[in-house]
């Protein structure tokens, strides 16, 4: 009985320390005209969750608006900001949260990044988990709606505020939340309109392993919270792609083809890349957009050239009206460029590269009534009036598009895109070529750090005219081990679509110190030697040993005769012993 009690207590202790498999955080900013939809979505969550609480904790931060009905919990109608931990067993159909609040905050500005950060800190402290997911619930503005002077999401009417993407608030909120949980989110979902855009993705790719969002409108009823909630509750996710598939399937099954909307999931991480892409490949995508924009300006004459403008005009708009006419599908724009016989080879090459990455990063997506949508858009206005409605768009507040034309800066990760859609016919270059190397003469190891300008599409490292490394990733670290003594020549070569260039060339001379023989002892001067083998004149091995930190080897145990020693530190050289 004591052993059983100890086992139960041990299991309880492990669970209490490590938490459950998953904590799902839902950030519901309903302090606006979406307030009346709050309880419908929480009903769906409660119905799918049921009593399946062993693997999953669901915590909700919610704020409502009294003019639109607020929201309802077990204690009555609310319109302030509260934290809830769903206990399980909710009715799922009664139009209320079947719990009382864990924390009552009063009125909070849900558009303030600190409100989300505080919620994440509370969730991480009280509901530790192996993995965390975050759903952002509100209006979305993507990267610029006609007549609405914001980019991002989270509008709080009571406080008259909006969580701006261009001013850096969206990034600050999510990055701060990720720091509180101490790891990247397993996924971030946007139950919001028009958020599946490269500019928004750039703010989230490095703090979440998967992103789930829409290029088009999300209907008033929002996501359908069904099988993916049950899946999280019954077992840990088997993969990001499977969970993303369930999210898209729920959405598709609920809406069918009855309305114009989309939902996509992008997998971007280094562990589940077989169902998506790695973070380095996302950086590669950025570099290809960078170069596409650059050569649309330099080779094709910019956006106002007739062939380029026709591709802009023809790219899939994410609305049948004019509200989102400047939100275009990136893949389709590249496809039109590639199919235009008057567009040059260099631009087409970058366009194809972009299309290939988008295909890999979207294991599945669903697009209803948008036949040329492929799950990732970009801000591509029909004319060159861009960024005119948000003066906060500066190099210091957003990482994507701060441009030399707009504010004299090249700090934006993809400033040529801004220059392109602004109508420039020339562009300013920022050189980013940096090659550093270190040679260890004892081990023969050569380490490289390299950064190539976005103008390049690939890199090779060549030793003695033999390729030892090549990649399409323009930034990274590489190690090489020399296995032969002598002088060795290295070249770092960068490739563009039309030529190649030796960026750096240098020589290293590897001459490890050989062992010395005095009397019956071998003295080792090179601590990189890994082990020693001794053979007699017939080739029979008579001794072997790892040297480690051995300074010498006593040979007095050998009989008189001729021997040779094979010492190996990655090399294969022999010395002869005569006794």
Instruction: Report pLDDT digits (tens) over 86-100.
Output: 999 888 899 999 999
Residues 68, 88: one domain?
yes
- What's the domain range around 69? 2-196+214-238
pTM for the model: 0.74
The answer to whether residue 352 is domain-embedded is no
Give CA–CA dist 145/84, Å, rounded. 33
> Are 153 and 178 contained in the same domain?
yes
Which is more confidently placed, 202 or 526? 202
pLDDT in tens, 416-455: 888 888 788 876 655 567 788 888 876 778 998 888 877 7
With respect to residue 454, please indicate whether it lies within any of the assigned structural domains.
Answer: yes
Q: Are residues 504 and 526 in the same domain?
A: no
User: Do 267 and 210 contact (CB within 8 A), yes or no?
Assistant: yes
* pLDDT per position as a tens digit, 270-283: 776 567 888 878 88
Neighbours of 36 (CB within 10 A): 15
d(Cα 105, Cα 288) in Å, to the nearest integer? 46
Over the range 178-197, which residues count as b (16 or more CB within 10 Å of their CB) and which as e?
bebbeebbbbbbbbbbbbbb
Instruction: Determine the Cα angle at 229 with ends 228 and 235, to 5°.
Output: 85
Give the integer Cα–Cα distance in Å for 353 and 283: 12
Q: Take residue 391 and report the two structure tokens written for it.
A: 């003066």
CATH number for 544: 2.60.40
Q: Where does a domain end: 472, 489, 510?
A: 510
CATH number, position 129 = 3.40.50.11970
Residues 465 and 565 in one domain: no
Same domain, 138 and 191: yes
Q: Report the domain count for the chain.
A: 3
Give the pLDDT score at 567.
67
Report yes or no on 28 lying in a domain: yes
Indicate whether 504 and 543 sit together in one domain.
no
∠ CA 65-69-73, nearest 5°, is 95
Mind listing the pLDDT tens digit for each residue in 341-361?
A: 999 999 999 999 999 999 988
Q: Is residue 401 part of a domain?
A: no
Statement to judge: residues 144 and 223 lie in one domain: yes
Q: Are residues 80 and 12 in the same domain?
A: yes
Domain membership of residue 158 (yes or no) is yes
Residue at a domain's end among 494, 510, 526: 510
Mean pLDDT value across residues 189-211: 92
Q: Are residues 496 and 574 in the same domain?
A: no
- Are 454 and 542 in a shared domain? no
Whether 452 and 531 share a structural domain: no
Is 232 found in the same domain as 133? yes
Cα 162 from Cα 390, distance rounded (Å): 12
């Amino acid at each position: 009985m004591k052993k059983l009690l100890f086992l139960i207590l041990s299991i309880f202790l492990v669970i209490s320390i490590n938490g459950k498999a998953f904590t799902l955080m839902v950030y519901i900013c309903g302090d606006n005209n979406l307030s009346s939809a709050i309880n419908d979505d929480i009903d769906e969550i409660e119905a799918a969750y049921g009593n399946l609480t062993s693997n999953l904790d669901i915590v909700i931060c919610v704020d409502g608006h009294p003019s639109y009905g607020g929201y309802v919990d077990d204690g009555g109608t609310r319109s302030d900001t509260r934290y809830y931990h769903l206990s399980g067993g909710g009715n799922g159909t009664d139009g209320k949260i079947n719990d009382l609040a864990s924390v009552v905050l009063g009125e909070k500005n849900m558009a303030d990044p600190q409100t989300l950060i505080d919620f994440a800190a509370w969730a991480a402290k009280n509901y530790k988990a192996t993995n965390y997911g975050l759903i952002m619930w509100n209006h979305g503005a993507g990267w610029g709606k006609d007549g609405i002077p914001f980019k991002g999401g989270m509008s709080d009417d009571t406080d008259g505020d909006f969580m701006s993407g261009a001013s850096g608030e969206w990034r600050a909120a999510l990055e701060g939340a990720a720091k509180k949980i101490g790891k990247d989110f397993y996924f971030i979902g946007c139950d919001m309109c028009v958020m599946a855009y490269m500019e928004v993705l750039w703010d989230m790719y490095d703090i979440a392993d998967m992103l789930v969002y829409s290029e088009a409108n999300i209907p008033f009823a929002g996501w359908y919270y069904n099988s993916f909630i049950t899946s999280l509750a019954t077992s840990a996710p088997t993969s990001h792609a499977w969970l993303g598939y369930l999210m898209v399937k729920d959405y598709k099954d609920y809406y069918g083809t009855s309305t114009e909307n989309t939902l996509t999931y992008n997998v971007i991480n280094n562990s589940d890349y077989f169902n998506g892409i790695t973070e380095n490949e996302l950086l590669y995508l950025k570099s290809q957009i960078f170069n596409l924009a650059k050569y649309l300006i330099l080779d094709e004459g910019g956006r106002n050239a007739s062939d380029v403008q026709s591709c802009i005009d023809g790219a899939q708009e994410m609305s049948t009206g004019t509200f989102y006419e400047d939100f275009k599908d990136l893949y389709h724009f590249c496809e039109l460029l590639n199919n235009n016989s008057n567009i040059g080879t260099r631009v087409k090459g970058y366009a194809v590269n972009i299309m290939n990455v988008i295909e890999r990063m979207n294991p599945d997506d669903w697009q209803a009534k948008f036949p040329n949508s492929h799950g990732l858009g970009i801000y591509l206005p029909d004319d060159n009036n861009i960024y005119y409605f948000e003066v906060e768009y500066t190099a210091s507040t957003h990482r994507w598009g701060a441009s030399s034309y707009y504010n004299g800066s090249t700090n934006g990760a993809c400033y040529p895109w801004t220059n392109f859609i602004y109508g420039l016919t020339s562009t300013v270059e920022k050189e980013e070529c940096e090659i550093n190397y270190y040679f260890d003469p004892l081990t023969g190891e050569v380490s490289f750090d390299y950064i190539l300008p976005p103008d390049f599409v690939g890199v090779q490292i060549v030793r003695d005219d033999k390729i030892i490394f090549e990649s399409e990733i323009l930034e990274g670290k590489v190690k090489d081990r020399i296995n032969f003594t002598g002088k060795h020549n290295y070249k770092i070569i960068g490739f563009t679509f039309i030529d190649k260039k030796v960026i750096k060339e240098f020589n290293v001379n590897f001459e490890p110190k050989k062992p010395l023989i005095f009397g019956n002892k071998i003295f080792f001067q090179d601590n990189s030697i890994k082990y020693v083998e001794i053979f007699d004149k017939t080739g029979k091995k008579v001794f072997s040993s790892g040297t480690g930190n051995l300074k010498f080897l006593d040979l007095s145990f050998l009989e008189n005769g001729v021997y040779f020693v094979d010492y190996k530190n990655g090399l294969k050289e022999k010395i002869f012993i005569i006794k």
